[in-house]
Structures are given as C-alpha cells and as structure tokens.
C-alpha cells in the first residue's frame, strides 16, 4: 500500500533528484569550463604566441589525461551527501537502459538512440541528475560496447552537458513540452556530434588538407576549415541521428515522461525529512 499522501497528479515539471549545492555548482562550472577548453582550444589558441603553438601537438593528450580526473572530482562531489539510495537506484536503472539502447544502434545512417532516455530523464529529475546520468550512461555503454578510448571523457562530457541542458529547459506542458524536448534532442544531438568532431579534428584531418587545423592561423581561418571538415565528414551521420532522436522523443516521450514522473513522485525526492 502506498502512503495516502502520494496523491495529487504531478504538476511540477522537474524535481531535483540530485541537489546541486553551492560547492558542487562551482565545481561543475569550473570543470565544464576546462572541459569546454578541452574541446575548443584549436579555435581559441593565440596565433602569435609561439610557446602555445609548440604545444599544439600534445594539447589533446593533456586534456585526455586531465578530463577524467576532473569528471571524477565532480561526480564525487555530487555523490557526497546529496546522492541517496533512491537517486542511485534510478541512476543505475536509467544508465543501464541507456547503455542497452546503445547496443542495437548499428551506426548506420546515425541511428543511435542513446540520448533518447537521457533527455526526458534530465527534464524530469533535474539538471544535476541529468549531468551525472549523461556521464554514467556513456561510461556504462562504453564498457558494454568496448568503446573505451581517449575519446571517452569527451563523450562523457558531451552527454553530461546534454542531460544538464535538458534539466534547464523552460517549463512547458503537454504537446508543447514534447515539441520542446524533441527540438532540444535534435539540436543537442547535432551539437554533440560537432563538439566531438572538434576534439577529433586537429589530428583527425591531418595537416595538409584544405580543412586541416593550422596552428596559429587565427579563429576565422580555422573555424572555416573546421566547418568544412564537419560538413564533409560527419554531417551525413549527425543529421539523421539528430532527426531520429527528435522523432523518438516525439513518439515515445509521453509515456517515458509519465513513467519517470511517477517514479520521481513515489521516490519523493523533494520532500524534506524533518526530525523534531
């Protein structure tokens, strides 16, 4: 029997299954900044400083080494105190489902539904939960699919931001909410693809082609090269992925949101425990 007060149907769009306390928020912001630098440094590097250019070959590897540590610190801080048994249970189940969703993705024409669960979950359970779920889902799916490599921390960051962003969307209800989430799913899947290309680009495109990264060539030149690189190599993969993810949210979003809201209502995340 459920306690009689779990009553009224959900009116809130989001709870906070993992509360972001001030210290965790600051840490998350700083880490995200470093993460962003890890992605964007090729565009931002200052051309005239030769000392910078000298490191342009080993910079990606520096970030590969640093980002997992940073992620570990953030996840550790989030877990400290504010992650209770209920949140862990939900996190475990959703991450497992997310990871399982990655198995059937054949990689053909970008059908990769791994983000589909992440977005409704971030929406319903809050941005802190979305962040952790994104990171954990990718890590778990990498273990299953053998996808562990230097790209993993970048993928984890990308998915974590995606979940975080889903928790930050403005309030909306019914069809409007579905459209909002589907739009977000499509756009964020596209962004995710672009970001990961950005990480891959400096060494993935060699040094000699017309869309290669040229250290110190300036933002405009490199941005132009990067866009060329992005469009020619992976947009044919990223756009179908964005479309499938958006469509999945449109079609299956309603029951998934309802199930998540019911779980979050029963787990009573927002209800304080008071001892007199």
Contacting residues toward another protein, per CB under 8 A:
1-9, 85-86, 255, 258, 262, 266-268, 270-276
- Which of 61, 80, 97 minimizes the C-alpha distance to 19? 80
Between 9 and 22, CB nearer to another protein: 9
Between 6 and 144, CB nearer to another protein: 6
CB of 274 to another protein, least distance (A): 4
- Which of 113, 110, 114 minimizes the C-alpha distance to 233? 110
CA–CA dist 29, 231 (Å, integer): 30
CB of 57 to another protein, least distance (A): 47
CB of 273 to another protein, least distance (A): 5
181 near 116, Cβ under 8 Å?
no
CB of 159 to another protein, least distance (A): 27
Between 223 and 258, CB nearer to another protein: 258
Between the alpha carbon of residue 190 and those of residues 11, 15, 23, the distances in Å are: 31, 27, 31
20 near 203, Cβ under 8 Å?
no
Between 4 and 146, CB nearer to another protein: 4
16 near 123, Cβ under 8 Å?
no
CB of 145 to another protein, least distance (A): 24
Between 142 and 263, CB nearer to another protein: 263
- DSSP states of 187-206: HHHHHHHHHHHHHHHHHHTT
252 near 116, Cβ under 8 Å?
yes
């Amino acid at each position: 029997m459920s306690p009689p007060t779990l009553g009224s149907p959900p009116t809130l769009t989001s709870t906070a299954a993992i509360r972001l306390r001030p210290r965790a928020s600051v840490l998350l912001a700083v880490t995200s900044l470093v993460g962003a630098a890890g992605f964007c440094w090729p565009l931002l590097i200052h051309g005239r400083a030769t000392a910078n250019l000298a490191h342009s070959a080993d910079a990606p590897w520096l970030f590969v080494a640093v980002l997992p540590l940073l992620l570990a610190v953030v996840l550790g801080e989030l877990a400290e105190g504010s992650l209770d048994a209920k949140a862990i249970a939900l996190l475990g189940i959703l991450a497992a489902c997310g990871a399982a969703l990655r198995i059937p993705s054949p990689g053909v024409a970008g059908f990769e539904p791994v983000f589909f669960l992440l977005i409704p979950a971030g929406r319903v359970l809050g941005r802190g939960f979305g962040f952790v779920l994104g990171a954990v889902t990718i890590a778990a799916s990498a273990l299953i699919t053998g996808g562990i490599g230097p790209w993993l921390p970048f993928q984890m960051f990308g998915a974590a931001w995606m979940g975080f962003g889903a928790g930050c969307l403005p309030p909306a209800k019914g069809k409007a909410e579905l459209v909002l989430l589907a739009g977000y799913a499509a756009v964020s899947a596209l962004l995710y693809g672009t970001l990961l290309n950005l990480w891959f680009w400096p060494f993935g495109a060699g040094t000699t082609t017309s869309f290669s990264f040229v250290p110190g060539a300036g933002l405009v030149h490199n941005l132009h090269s990067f866009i060329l690189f992005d469009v020619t190599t992976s947009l044919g993969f990223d756009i179908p992925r964005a479309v499938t993810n958006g469509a999945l949210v449109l079609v299956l979003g309603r029951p998934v949101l309802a199930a998540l809201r019911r779980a979050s209502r029963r787990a009573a995340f927002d209800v304080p425990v008071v001892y007199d």
